[in-house]
């Protein structure tokens, strides 16, 4: 079985390696490109914890400081793994979305112990800072990268969809799904997905594919990359 991955290239590479382990091949057509954003050097001395809502945030944090002993709270296991691979030793993963990360922070952090730093992109899902600030936390959001949508459907996607090379397409964010729907219409690819499965990280991601037609929408019980990988691997057995 072959699937199309739409994440940024580095994230797709890692996820593709995971799928390869269960016999699923993949091709990559990134609909988002990641660009670093210049910001002031990070001073973590008064910071009790750093919050990460993406693997790109983990890589941005690693590039911005040599400190590796700071406490890191990650939105999910994929982000936690990226932080650990970057050398951070005190990493705790939440359940895969901003609400669960907020709940984790409220459970193990205290407002009196210092500020909380959120390493984020220029576009964020959910309002992590507001949820914590309402409970007395000082939260500073550092925009460390910018995720920019592409303006034309990548050639890999166009050719592969027209030739029927894919059993499904994998989506991790509403923004990526919305971009796919828009660029599909622009490229005249609407009919090419009718027989394919849409593998979506969450219901919000599936809803963002409005206007496109699919054979089936498949969602994991938890919005975690590993849970989505398991869904994809298991679907090989479904005709």
Q: What's residue 237's pLDDT?
A: 66
**Could you give the angle at the alpha carbon of 228 between the alpha carbons of 226 and 233, nearest 5°?**
95
- As to burial, measured by CB atoms within 10 angstroms (0-12 exposed, 13-18 middle, 19+ buried), residue 134 is exposed
- The answer to whether the CB of 162 falls within 8 A of the CB of 180 is no
Closest CA to 117 of 192, 60, 193: 60
Residues paired with residue 140 on neighbouring β-strands, in sequence order: 117
Q: Domain spanning 2-31+151-237: which CATH class is it, in words?
A: alpha beta
* Digitized pLDDT (tens) for each residue of the chain, 239 residues in all: 999 999 999 999 999 999 999 999 999 999 999 998 987 788 898 899 999 999 999 999 999 999 999 999 999 999 999 999 999 999 999 988 899 999 999 999 999 999 999 999 887 766 888 899 999 999 999 999 999 999 999 999 999 999 999 999 999 999 999 999 999 999 999 899 999 999 999 999 999 998 899 999 999 999 999 999 999 999 986 55
Q: What's residue 236's pLDDT?
A: 85
pTM of the model: 0.86
Residue recorded with tokens 């963002």: 208
Helices within 48-141 (DSSP H only): 55-64, 77-85, 98-108, 128-133
Q: What's residue 126's pLDDT?
A: 66
- Determine the Cα–Cα distance for residues 133 and 15; give it in Å rounded to an integer: 34
Neighbouring CB atoms inside 10 A of 123's CB total 13
Q: How far is CA 157 from the centre of its chain?
A: 20
Same fold across 2-31+151-237 and 34-148:
yes
Would you list the domain boundaries of the chain?
Answer: 2-31+151-237, 34-148
- Determine the Cα–Cα distance for residues 69 and 76; give it in Å rounded to an integer: 19
Neighbouring CB atoms inside 10 A of 163's CB total 9
Assign domain 34-148 one CATH number from 3.40.50.2300, 3.40.50.1580, 1.10.150.120, 3.40.50.10090. 3.40.50.10090
- Determine the Cα–Cα distance for residues 66 and 72; give it in Å rounded to an integer: 14
Alpha carbon separation from 8 to 15, 170, 231 (Å, rounded):
11, 12, 21
Tokens representing 219? 């969602």
- As to burial, measured by CB atoms within 10 angstroms (0-12 exposed, 13-18 middle, 19+ buried), residue 28 is buried
């Amino acid at each position: 079985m072959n699937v199309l991955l739409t994440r940024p290239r580095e994230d797709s590479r890692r996820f593709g390696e995971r799928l390869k382990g269960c016999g699923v091949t993949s091709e990559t057509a990134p609909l988002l490109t990641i660009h670093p954003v210049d910001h002031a050097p990070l001073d973590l001395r008064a910071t009790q914890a750093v919050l990460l809502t993406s693997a790109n945030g983990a890589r941005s944090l690693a590039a911005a400081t040599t400190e590796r002993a700071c406490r890191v709270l990650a939105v999910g296991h994929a982000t936690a793994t990226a932080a650990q691979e970057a050398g951070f030793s005190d990493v705790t993963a939440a359940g895969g979305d901003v609400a669960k990360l907020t709940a984790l922070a409220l459970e193990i952090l205290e407002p009196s112990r210092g500020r909380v730093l959120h390493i984020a992109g220029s576009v964020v899902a959910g309002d992590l800072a507001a949820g914590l600030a309402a409970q007395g936390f000082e939260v500073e959001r550092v925009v460390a990268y910018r995720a920019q949508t592409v303006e034309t459907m990548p050639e890999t996607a166009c050719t592969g969809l027209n030739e029927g090379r894919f059993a499904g397409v994998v989506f991790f964010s509403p923004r990526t799904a919305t971009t796919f729907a828009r660029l599909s219409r622009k490229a005249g690819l609407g009919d090419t997905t009718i027989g394919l499965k849409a593998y979506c990280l969450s219901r919000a991601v599936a809803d963002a594919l409005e206007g496109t037609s699919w054979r089936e929408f498949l969602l994991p019980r938890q919005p975690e990359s590993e849970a989505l990988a398991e869904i994809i691997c298991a679907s090989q057995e479904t005709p």
